[in-house]
Amino acid sequence: MCAHIVLAEDDAKQAELVRRYLERERHTVVVVGDGAVALDLVRRHPPDLLVLDVMLPGVDGLEICRTLRAESDLPVLMLTARSTEDDLLAGLDLGADDYVTKPFSPRELMARIRTLLRRAAPARPGNGVARVGSLSVDPMRHEVTVDGRPIDCTPGEFRLLELMAAQPDRVFTRGQLLEHLHGFDRFITQRAIDVHVMNLRKKIEAQPRRPARLLTVYGVGYKLTAGADAP
């Protein structure tokens, strides 16, 4: 898959290394070293993927991610020298689809980028709408509704709902959900899924602190159920 990718990275040597690897896989790459310029560019000419460094001059990567998530489902992979769990979770909480810490293996980065691009590709014909009570997930249109009301989901949140809605009442372990969502990173396994679930509950539950749809099965994982919608 050849894609148009914006690489927002102010470290010239790092940017050149990543650019060469991306172009080796036949992607078209635009490198930007300033956060404000990067934000303006992706708004005017949305790419297939944004590879986004956290520590950018002008506007930092976290603020760029926050702004874009309020406007679009553009896939975002964040790069950072920060390696604490709180920093990683902050990026996911803002809607980043994946998070790679420096120093990283260029081959691993390329593998993650291929995974994100596959997920963002248009759904194949024949993927039907999954309904769980009054919640529906439409893979073809990349839409989620609850009681007919559209729900704005990040790509990662949509992937979780799409998987669980296809098999309502099945209990998924955090490991299974992470494998579906990320496929590579084990450093943030448990907490990453918990953050996505917490954010989804705020969007699909009438009372997020007392969920009726997206339930915790203690000691195992999570399941999606019709809840209060069930007859």
Integer Cα distance of 193 and 178 in angstroms: 7
Average pLDDT over residues 1-30: 91
115-137 pLDDT, tens digit per residue, is 888 877 654 444 578 999 999 99
Integer Cα distance of 13 and 17 in angstroms: 6
- pLDDT at position 205, please? 94
More confident residue, 113 or 192: 113
Q: What are phi and psi of 204, to 5 degrees?
A: -110, -10
- pLDDT at position 185, please? 45
- pLDDT at position 87, please? 64
DSSP state of 215: E
| Residue 158 neighbours by CB under 8 Å, 6+ apart | 73, 137, 142, 144
Over 90: is that where the pLDDT of 140 sits? no
The interaxial angle of helices 61-69 and 85-93, nearest 10 deg, is 30
- pLDDT at position 221, please? 87
- pLDDT at position 85, please? 59
Over 80: is that where the pLDDT of 191 sits? no
Banded model confidence at residue 184, pLDDT cuts 50, 70, 90:
very low
Instruction: Please provide the size of the chain in residues.
Output: 231
Integer Cα distance of 222 and 220 in angstroms: 7
Average pLDDT over residues 79-102: 75
User: How much of the chain exceeds pLDDT 90, in percent?
Assistant: 42
- pLDDT at position 1, please? 59
Banded model confidence at residue 37, pLDDT cuts 50, 70, 90:
very high
Residue 100, token pair as written in the block: 């790679």
CA-wise closest residue to 51 among 102, 105, 2, 96: 96
Write the DSSP string, 18-79: HHHHHHHTT-EEEEE--HHHHHHHHHHS--SEEEEESS-SSS-HHHHHHHHHTT----EEEE
User: How much of the chain exceeds pLDDT 70, in percent?
Assistant: 87
Q: Determine contact, residues 215/225, Cβ cutoff 8 Å.
A: yes
- pLDDT at position 3, please? 87
Integer Cα distance of 52 and 60 in angstroms: 9
